[in-house]
Structure 1
């Protein structure tokens, strides 16, 4: 693929509103950013909002454990598999236009999920909902990259970072509220139906503020790299499906064969993409994006921090609902302190003293490790934790924000506009895979430890939680140390 910067009028018109915005003379970029981040938040909410609704869904639809696993994870599977494809579609047909198409699909699938009459229908509609999110979400970063410049871009990326992980904790809280409210006797259905009015409003406003033009001729000429799409989609599917269902099925032989085959296809994908780039073709992910300074470290750190985030939320939900007997509402509200602090730190870290900036990311990983270990210790023995628990929750939120937000912002701040779609698709996929890996690995550890203890439920659950929290702390420590090692090299 040609690496010469584009001279077509593609990105030029969108850089002017950013300058106007900085001078306070044009509110259009602000409204555009609000629409994008609202859609981002809604899509992320649905990754987690179903967690606390799962028991109610199971009893209402007579769903098996495997059915519930697919209801929860089906969204994440299609989301992660199709993210890079969604990024390329935006690059080819226009990011604003493709964002609206994805938002329409997501909204329609949400309505279908809320009206589903059986577990099979719900699983199918959840897969469609994830596909809509995969088409919609990569355009968010691409449009931010093309609309904002300089300090305005840094602020927009900071807001994006805050929304990205706050959606995880907020999903649990909102799910608990909606299920406990049992609006008009609808039980779990509002966790999906709430997206419909929000989606319709965003579609109406988005049609007015999002760019509707097609991509530049150079982008249309790139093509969609069909073989690359097939290889990557198959590789991610073969890795994510056993991670989701392996624990439920007690890790049968097929799950290990699937993981091995997925790894092999991923290696084939990397080799094919490199050869395609050398021949002057249009690879799915431009190799120069992967070689961008700091991109490899950013990918590693994002995997680590999102694995900790996903694992922490999942196993803590299991403990407070199963071990401590919390209601869906109380379990959901458990994560509010973490979400609030994450959002506050994610929005303000750029204003902190310049002397602190270099140490923010390793400090964030360290604080995260200490705080998740603290959560396990104060809940040990079936205790409810007292006020020390909330101190630990605040530490988790601040630590995750410091590890996540600067990493993502710095990785994207210097990416060229013509590489925005590739970079956004890559990093969005990494974020989703990190969450999925965290849930699968630490969820498996929790269940295995719980089964081996065979003790009274509150005690055994707290001991299983403590084991997971120490493992999460070790993962956070690796995130900090790996950064120091790579910088020395």
Structure 2
């Protein structure tokens, strides 16, 4: 803990979470409103896809530039800007008179959400340290999980209250109370932005790099976010274009850095201990865990005939377990470190396999009740992975790069989530068609694919633990001592020692050494 922790940091966190509820709930709340968009607005199937996919695409595009803007222009300032934009876009969506109007409003919502999300994580990085930072990330994870999970329930209740003609408008207008509360409290409770000379990015926001990255993200995400509705009709060819844009982005970033610029993919972030490993593990894991809600929703509603409200209730145990474990995991990650994440993947896998076995043996309406326990266990495992891994990944990232680092991490996870949903959906519907509409077989196969992603994340975590154990052997320690002595004799040794001191300081704050 720092000697003078920021006063009012927990109240400031509450303001951040009020904004977080909006952007997280909007990921899932519109799914139950799709029939109402057709009834009340006359939206065509292609327009429905864009109402859902537009938010996801715009969100993914804005994450990294949003993080860089917060680091360079001030997180408090960009938080307020993003909040105002999100509120205005929500009002525009709620007042939409045509499907095109609603699609454009959803794109604006996604951009505002992508601008807001890195500020939340960057502010946590800025306001908290040591064990408190893990606890704060736990709160963030719990709010994320619970808001995303209750979205369909809230949406179902609002549509029932407002009817098919007006209820879908309430799905968007429900954001206003949270936005107004955060707007009133943010100027007073959020920490002041540091003076311009103390911020990280002084030269440029790297607009060329931001544009290239945005084009690559759009090209990769576009077919993935559309595939869950029409896998055969998704424009898969754009992924190759995305790979080209990504290669050009990497080339530009190296050239920009060589010319003395401050590239979007900052080397200080990528070299932070555990950042690449944590981001990779999180991306692989999210590819599996995000797809759970998709296959369960289709199974409960189309396979068992549940209403949207019943399907949301049947999936709720997973969300409850995830929210509880996220809060606990954030508090104890400083004590257990990476082994906690690895244990979480094991718990998650056990819960998924248990759910799979129940579905294969029972096809009646009681399945939702019978799977409550295994889904709760899966949620516990998920909460022990996502939040602790978030804290470990950003553990030693320089505070002034926290927003950029969070944006890069979230973008990778967004792509991973889309890949997972596209793959699981493709397998699910293929088995469904070949098995004579056997929803149990389709769900079981989809769950196996999800388990494969979780096992891959487990293997990556175990590999990191084994590498860390080898690095901590006595012979390794002796070698490091000799290297340190050689450093003292080399030019620039002072700079390297400063870097090590910085990393050591980060580890001391957490009370644990992370690899």
SS at match of 1:293: coil
Residue 208 of structure 2 is aligned to residue 227 of structure 1: yes
User: How far apart, in 2, do the equivalents of 1:356 and 1:226 lie?
Assistant: 40
User: How far apart, in 2, do the equivalents of 1:271 and 1:164 lie?
Assistant: 35
- CA deviation profile, 1:62-85 (whole Å, cap 9, x unmatched): 322222111111101000011111
- CA deviation profile, 1:115-141 (whole Å, cap 9, x unmatched): 112221111100000011111111111
* 2:398 alignment counterpart: 416
User: How has the CA–CA distance of structure 1 residues 245 and 154 changed in structure 2, closer, same or farther, with 3 Å as cutoff?
Assistant: closer
User: How far apart, in 1, do the equivalents of 2:451 and 2:424 lie?
Assistant: 12
* 2:434 alignment counterpart: 452
Aligned ranges 1:356-371 → 2 under 5 Å = 357-371=337-351
Find the partner of 2:162 among 182, 187, 193.
182
What is the Cα-based RMSD across aligned positions, in Å?
2.4
* 1:287 alignment counterpart: 267
User: How far apart, in 1, do the equivalents of 2:133 and 2:97 lie?
Assistant: 45
* CA contact 1:180–1:329 (8 Å) conserved in 2: no
Residue 357 of structure 2 is aligned to residue 377 of structure 1: yes
* CA contact 1:41–1:163 (8 Å) conserved in 2: yes
Residue 480 of structure 2 is aligned to residue 480 of structure 1: no
User: How far apart, in 2, do the equivalents of 1:388 and 1:321 lie?
Assistant: 16
Aligned ranges 1:84-95 → 2 under 5 Å = 84-95=64-75
* 1:440 alignment counterpart: 422
Aligned ranges 1:92-171 → 2 under 5 Å = 92-171=72-151
Instruction: Point out the more displaced range, 189-198 or 53-62.
Output: 53-62
In the TM superposition, residue 203 of structure 1 has moved relative to its aligned partner by 0.7
User: How has the CA–CA distance of structure 1 residues 353 and 127 changed in structure 2, closer, same or farther, with 3 Å as cutoff?
Assistant: closer
Aligned ranges 1:291-310 → 2 under 5 Å = 291-310=271-290
User: How far apart, in 2, do the equivalents of 1:215 and 1:161 lie?
Assistant: 30
**Gaps spanning 5+ residues in structure 1: where?**
1-14
Q: Compute the TM-score of the two structures, normalised by the length of structure 2.
A: 0.84
- Bigger Rg, which one: 2
* 1:269 alignment counterpart: 249
Residue 238 of structure 2 is aligned to residue 258 of structure 1: yes
- CA deviation profile, 1:155-185 (whole Å, cap 9, x unmatched): 2122222223333212233223322333696
* CA contact 1:310–1:434 (8 Å) conserved in 2: no
- CA deviation profile, 1:431-478 (whole Å, cap 9, x unmatched): 3223322322212222222222233xxxx2222111101111111111
* CA contact 1:92–1:215 (8 Å) conserved in 2: no
Aligned ranges 1:31-70 → 2 under 5 Å = 31-70=11-50
SS at match of 1:182: helix
* CA contact 2:273–2:396 (8 Å) conserved in 1: no
Instruction: Point out the more displaced range, 352-361 or 105-114.
Output: 352-361
Residue 4 of structure 2 is aligned to residue 19 of structure 1: yes
Instruction: Point out the more displaced range, 33-42 or 123-132.
Output: 33-42
User: How has the CA–CA distance of structure 1 residues 386 and 76 changed in structure 2, closer, same or farther, with 3 Å as cutoff?
Assistant: closer
**Gaps spanning 5+ residues in structure 2: where?**
468-515
Aligned ranges 1:206-217 → 2 under 5 Å = 206-213=186-193, 216-217=196-197
* 2:178 alignment counterpart: 198
* 1:7 alignment counterpart: none
In the TM superposition, residue 56 of structure 1 has moved relative to its aligned partner by 2.3
User: How has the CA–CA distance of structure 1 residues 247 and 161 changed in structure 2, closer, same or farther, with 3 Å as cutoff?
Assistant: closer
User: How far apart, in 2, do the equivalents of 1:164 and 1:445 lie?
Assistant: 27
User: How far apart, in 2, do the equivalents of 1:184 and 1:444 lie?
Assistant: 30
User: How has the CA–CA distance of structure 1 residues 386 and 313 changed in structure 2, closer, same or farther, with 3 Å as cutoff?
Assistant: closer
User: How has the CA–CA distance of structure 1 residues 480 and 206 changed in structure 2, closer, same or farther, with 3 Å as cutoff?
Assistant: same
- CA deviation profile, 1:371-403 (whole Å, cap 9, x unmatched): 123223322353332653111111111010111
User: How far apart, in 2, do the equivalents of 1:289 and 1:203 lie?
Assistant: 31
In the TM superposition, residue 89 of structure 1 has moved relative to its aligned partner by 1.2
List 4+ stretches of structure 1 deviating above 6 A: none
User: How far apart, in 2, do the equivalents of 1:110 and 1:99 lie?
Assistant: 16
User: How far apart, in 2, do the equivalents of 1:116 and 1:185 lie?
Assistant: 12
* CA contact 1:277–1:287 (8 Å) conserved in 2: no
Find the partner of 2:439 among 439, 461, 469.
461
- CA deviation profile, 1:181-227 (whole Å, cap 9, x unmatched): 33696222211110012211111111222245465225352311011
* CA contact 1:103–1:203 (8 Å) conserved in 2: yes
User: How far apart, in 1, do the equivalents of 2:226 and 2:281 lie?
Assistant: 26
User: How far apart, in 1, do the equivalents of 2:94 and 2:107 lie?
Assistant: 14
User: How far apart, in 2, do the equivalents of 1:372 and 1:190 lie?
Assistant: 34
* CA contact 2:322–2:383 (8 Å) conserved in 1: yes
In the TM superposition, residue 369 of structure 1 has moved relative to its aligned partner by 1.8
Instruction: Point out the more displaced range, 29-38 or 176-185.
Output: 176-185
Q: Compute the TM-score of the two structures, normalised by the length of structure 1.
A: 0.89
SS at match of 1:219: coil
* CA contact 2:201–2:262 (8 Å) conserved in 1: no
Find the partner of 1:319 among 299, 311, 316.
299
* 1:395 alignment counterpart: 377
User: How far apart, in 2, do the equivalents of 1:272 and 1:462 lie?
Assistant: 49
* CA contact 2:299–2:439 (8 Å) conserved in 1: yes
User: How far apart, in 2, do the equivalents of 1:388 and 1:246 lie?
Assistant: 30
In the TM superposition, residue 311 of structure 1 has moved relative to its aligned partner by 0.4
* 2:488 alignment counterpart: none
